[in-house]
Structure 1
Amino acid sequence: MTFACLQVRVAQPSAAGGYLAFRHILTVLLWLLLGVPVASATDIIILKSSDIAAYNQAITGFKAALPSGIVLSEYDLQGDLEKGRKLARKIRASDPALVFAVGLKAAKAAQLEIVDIPVVYAMVLDPSKYGLTTQNMTGILLEVPIERQLAMMRNVLPQLKHIGTLYDPAKTTGLIDEARRLLKPNGAELIPLQVNNERDVPGGLRALLPSVDALWLVPDSTVLNEESLRFILNTALEERVPVIGFSREFARSGALLCLSVNYADIGRQAGQLSRKLLDGQLSLPMKPWHPERIETSLNLKTAKFLGVQIPRDIEQQADELY
């Protein structure tokens, strides 16, 4: 980092706003006296939730999309939200041009502590659920748009009429409601079965499978963990019900079809979005972007076992075949 002139953003000329601005000035001056540099106008801070491969792939994509001359600094929360909040306060005091928050805890720490610096998040499922909607925040969504998922299901399984899914109403009700709304005009029906805890999954699955043409897995942590995924895939195959998922690892393990995002590409989009914000081509507040690149994974062994004929064009365009 380099030393730069002190910059303070004041949202409104109110008494409260004046007090906050004054306090911010004092904070920055204290950091200067303690030897902490103030960021230059082209500094970007990367704040990541933890040191895992998926987050690092996104960061690599982000860096590749930035122009030369950007000064980058990176901080790791190590999975600790309170540590993240302390780091976020320090970051706000250094006044960078933008913060790139990777993962939910990093994004939440930034949302709680950074109110007057642009924050771009990535690698967060359902950001609106966690309040990542403040005016200085935007990002790249991690979910494959439901419309694309449903369209691909119909392309691979044209006779599909009844789609089953397991979900926890405390976690994925919004997604289920949206899928039901989108399916209705197409003559298909979503058959959701509620589970309130992990113990409900085996019985719920056995009750659901006889009445559906396919099982759609959604990102719900009550339903899915390593153990339950194996059970779900094995049981669905025993009942000859194709499984549609959201990770290539699901397809590798036996799901018929999976649509997923590429983490490095999510980071690349975040970098492009950041460039446009810094260049003044875009301004906050703004809605998050949907992922541009969607990867298709097919399990041809599963298709053969189930007697499903994958359209040739879809097979040829797939990113992964198992």
Structure 2
Amino acid sequence: MKHPKTLNETCAWLCVVCGLLLFSPQLFAAETFKILVLNSDAAVTKYQLSQEEFQKIVPFPVKAIDLGNKKWDAPAVEELLYDEDPDLVYCLGIKAYLIANKYVKNAPIVFSSIINWLRLPMTEKTYGVSNELPVGMEIMLFHYVFPEVQRIGVLYSKKYTQEWFKQASKEAKEMGIELVGSKVTDKKHVNSHLKKLLPEVDAYWLISDPTLMTEKQELFDILDLCHRTNKPVFSYHETFASFGAVLTVSVDDPTIGRQAAGIAMEVLAETTFDEKVQFPAGSYIVLNLKRVKEYGLSYNEDALGSINDILE
């Protein structure tokens, strides 16, 4: 396990260490559990990293299935579940979860790496790690790095993120930040909404919402429009920084895997949960300092120690 470099990583690292101590194999010495891992596509790096960490920590036999392999269609997985009869299923990605939710009858399901998990069909035996970080933490970080940014623009949709926007606005207001929102009903209207919004704000917060963006070109169009108006973009995926976003805050995939393993161990130990779906324990922060300087943005140099990666 790598040692932490930032305060955020330290907290996540301590959580994982405590979990490893609490759920040592000796606690389960009298029992052996069978665990099935369903990976939506093992070629996807974030899934791969989370699965690797999950399997390092769980001290029981694990059978891993790559649903990216065409041989594992729904009937084949159903037959496997019947034959294996696992005690717990760990799902990475939406494809894996939907298959497990349909065919797993008795075993608990733990999921991770799914955007907007609230849209999922859930059961009493469903647990997981959210792919979204606490909104208050993100806003606090934006303000910490860019203290002069007071008004942040957000496009959102009624179907997916309207309730999120209401909560985010409330938490931002408590920190002295104003979120200026515009509700979009169809992605073909994104550019027109964005053009009206940008003159009113200091920065734009690009959130995960399938109404706003489902293809790479749509991302490029949003980033290009913001760049042409010198508006910095905050977003949720580290790769967006290389395309021009100023600050990205994403989940840390290895930590997600370790956290999912901790949840699985708690489930098998029949622990009572206060929150069956947990926020991610760690994050990965990228600052595009080249773009910051290009825009002439004022930033807090003391905050650079909290950044995982700086693009110059």
Q: Deviations over 1:75-117 (max 9, x none)?
A: 233399x934762464155321211111112112222332421
Tell me the equivalent position of 1:231: 221
Tell me the equivalent position of 2:57: 65
Q: CA RMSD in A?
A: 2.2
Q: Does 1:149 align with 2:138?
A: yes
Structure 1 residue runs of 5 or longer lacking an equivalent are 1-39
User: How many Å apart are 1:262 and its aligned residue?
Assistant: 1.7
Amino acid at match of 1:207: K
Q: Residues 89 and 176 (structure 1 numbering): CA distance in 2 closer, same or farther, change over 3 Å?
A: farther
Q: Does 1:47 align with 2:38?
A: yes
User: How many Å apart are 1:279 and its aligned residue?
Assistant: 3.3
Amino acid at match of 1:43: K
How far apart, CA to CA, are the structure 2 residues paired with 1:187 and 1:317?
A: 22
How far apart, CA to CA, are the structure 1 residues paired with 2:281 and 2:145?
A: 21
Larger gyration radius, structure 1 or structure 2: 1
Contact 2:235–2:247 at 8 Å: present in 1 too?
Answer: yes
Higher mean Cα deviation, 174-183 or 206-215?
A: 174-183
Among candidates 240, 249, 264, match of residue 259 of structure 1: 249
Q: Does 1:295 align with 2:287?
A: no
How far apart, CA to CA, are the structure 1 residues paired with 2:195 and 2:274?
A: 46
Q: Does 1:122 align with 2:112?
A: yes
User: How many Å apart are 1:299 and its aligned residue?
Assistant: 0.6
Contact 1:143–1:261 at 8 Å: present in 2 too?
Answer: yes
Of structures 1 and 2, the one scoring higher in RCO (CA 8 A, sep 6+) is: 2
Among candidates 44, 66, 71, match of residue 76 of structure 1: 66
Q: Residues 147 and 88 (structure 1 numbering): CA distance in 2 closer, same or farther, change over 3 Å?
A: farther
Instruction: Give the % identical residues.
Output: 27
How far apart, CA to CA, are the structure 2 residues paired with 1:145 and 1:89?
A: 38
How far apart, CA to CA, are the structure 2 residues paired with 1:163 and 1:89?
A: 50
Instruction: Give the 5 Å matches for 1:1-322.
Output: 41-51=32-42, 52-67=44-59, 70-78=60-68, 83-84=73-74, 87-88=77-78, 90-92=80-82, 94-132=84-122, 134-224=123-213, 225-280=215-270, 282-283=271-272, 286-322=275-311
Q: State the secondary structure of the residue aligned to 2:147.
A: coil
Q: Deviations over 1:136-165 (max 9, x none)?
A: 110111111101111011112223332111
Q: Deviations over 1:215-255 (max 9, x none)?
A: 00110123233112222222212212111001111112111
Structure 2 residue runs of 5 or longer lacking an equivalent are 1-30
How far apart, CA to CA, are the structure 1 residues paired with 2:95 and 2:257?
A: 17
Higher mean Cα deviation, 294-303 or 106-115?
A: 106-115
Amino acid at match of 2:101: Q
- May I ask how many residue pairs the two structures share in their alignment? 278
Q: State the secondary structure of the residue aligned to 1:101.
A: strand
Higher mean Cα deviation, 57-66 or 107-116?
A: 107-116
Q: State the secondary structure of the residue aligned to 2:277.
A: coil
